[in-house]
Structures are given as structure tokens and as C-alpha cells.
Amino acid sequence: MSEEDGGPVPAPVAESGERPSAGAGSRCGFAAVIGAPNAGKSTLVNALVGAKVSIVTHKAQTTRTRVRGIALDGEAQIVLVDTPGIFAPKRRLDRAMVETAWTEAREADVAVLVVDAARGFDDTVDPIVNEAANLKIPLILALNKVDKIHKEKLLALAGEASERLKLESLFMISALSGDGVEDLRGFLAARMPYGPWLFPEDQIADAPLRQWAAEITREKMFIRLHEEIPYSSTVETTSWKTVRKGAVRIEQTIFVERESQRKIVLGAKGQAIKHISMEARKEIEEAIETPVHLFLFVKVRENWADDPERYREMGLDFPKK
């Protein structure tokens, strides 16, 4: 690893090997995972991959960027595209996230619409269902969190979905417990087009380690901080160096919009930033299997959400309006 490390996330993180040659029956394709915020998309992608490739918190709109997780099932390689939650956008960043989700869905081989069964087709989900009905690719519905809903309501929801959507299939799952996930993965594998794998067998995500590490830190911020702070901040990995005895020194900058937010991120006597750094360091260290020295800096950058460079860092297109 070097200061400019941009390698992908393997499982566990290691040097990428040669891409496997295509067998006679090999398949590979893209499955876009779409849905409302907090539907369980990222949890499902992680479950399908069998490892954590996308950050997960209890707060809505945690996922901002397109995250690709790579799942294997027999001869098939499924590139799962975890998209930002779809909602009514208010800010420029919101619009970029929603546009990214729909673009990924339209360009994939199949789309998986994840719906929180306990919420059903409420006012948040209803417009997504209407738009999903216009997709020109096979559509799979995953009714998630089915362990939290009575069977009668679940069957009624499935019936309504079948009436409103032209579905390739419908799965009742619990992404958190894993119920139904293996069946869904097998179904997706069979729907992938024939062709060579795009990634090495031991790779679980296509995100550079720098970006992935920044997302881990952002996840810890979501968990630790007040409601508005994570949404007003972004994290960038500014340096990644191999130091003595194979350890890695990582420097990250947390950008916030106001000085008052910077003080909250730091916390009284630096306790908040210390906790975030400790939790992020532990998870990064476990993933890359080497000692990590993580240094976090907090800077005020007013209107960072209107800076095209920040969008490029997040892998989003910059909306003109």
C-alpha cells in the first residue's frame, strides 16, 4: 500500500490476484438494489456478499454514494450496486443521490426493489413503486423485515405488489437475520448474463480502500453524533502511507459547514472525535489485517455540498441546479 493507494476492497483485504478465466458456464452481471431510505438495502447487500461492504446505521440516508459489492454463487458473479435511498430531494446533494440511484437501476441487468414490509407502500415508498414500474429490466421485489409483520398483512402487501408491478419474482426476507437471502442470491445468479467475471474471486467490493475507509469513519459519525451533524458533513481520506513494521498511517478530514458543527464533532475535551476515531480505527484494522494509525482532522468548509470536487470524491455527478 502506498500514499496513493487506490486498490479495491478484497475479502479480507489483500493484493488482488489475476482475474479468473471464464468457464463455459460462467455468468456475470449487475443487480441494482433500490428503495426508500432505511428499507435495509445496505444490510441486504452485505448479507448477499457475506461481508460488510456498505455502511449501515439506524439513521436514514446513510448511503450517499454508489457502492458495488461482489457476491459469488456457483459459476455466477453478481455485482450488487447499493444505491442511495430514494426520497423527495430538497438539496443539491439530495438530487445527486436520487439521480444516481435511478441511473444505476436503469443501467443494471436486473433491479431489486427493497421494501420495508412493516411500512408497506406508504407515502415514501409509493412514488418509488410507480417509477420502478417503468424500468425496462427485470424487477425483483424483496419484502424485507418480514419478521416484524403479521402474515395476513404480508400476504396483502404481496398481492398489492403483484397487481402494481410486473415482477420477475417476489422474495420475503429478513436481511438482518439472513432469512431468504440465500434463495434471493441464487435467483439473481441465475439471471446474470453468460460471460467472464469482472473481478478477482477474492474481491468483495470495487471501492478504493481510501474511499471505503472514509465511509467507515462517516458511519461512526452517524452513530455517535446529533441528528443534523452527519448530514452536514463529509469525510475524505487525504493520506494513506505504509510506515514501520507494515502499519498503515491514515489521515482523514471531516468537513462541516459551520464552526458550531466543528465543535460538536470534536466534543467536550475532544471526547467525540476520540470515540469516532477509535471505533473507525478498530474496524479498518480488522478489515485490512494490519495495525492502523488513524488521524482525524475537522475543518469548516461552508457550502461544501455545492462544491463539485466533493461530489467527485463521493462518486456522484454534480447536479447543475
Annotated binding-site residue numbers for GTP: 35-42, 82-86, 144-147
Q: Return the C-alpha cell found at 165.
A: 408491478
Cis peptide before 138 (omega within 30 of 0): no
Burial class (CB in 10 A: 0-12, 13-18, 19+), 23: exposed
Phi-psi region of 35 (alpha: psi -120 to 50; beta: other; left: phi over 0): left
Please state the separation of Cα 252 from the chain's center in Å: 20
Binding residues: 35-42, 82-86, 144-147
Long-range contacts of 154-161 (CB under 8 A, 24+ apart): 154/117, 157/115, 157/117, 157/120, 157/121, 160/121, 161/115, 161/121, 161/129
The DSSP string of 249-261 is EEEEEEEESSHHH
Q: What one-letter code names the amino acid at 152?
A: E
Amino acid at 321: K
What value, to the nearest 5°, has the Cα angle with vertex 100 and ends 98 and 101?
65
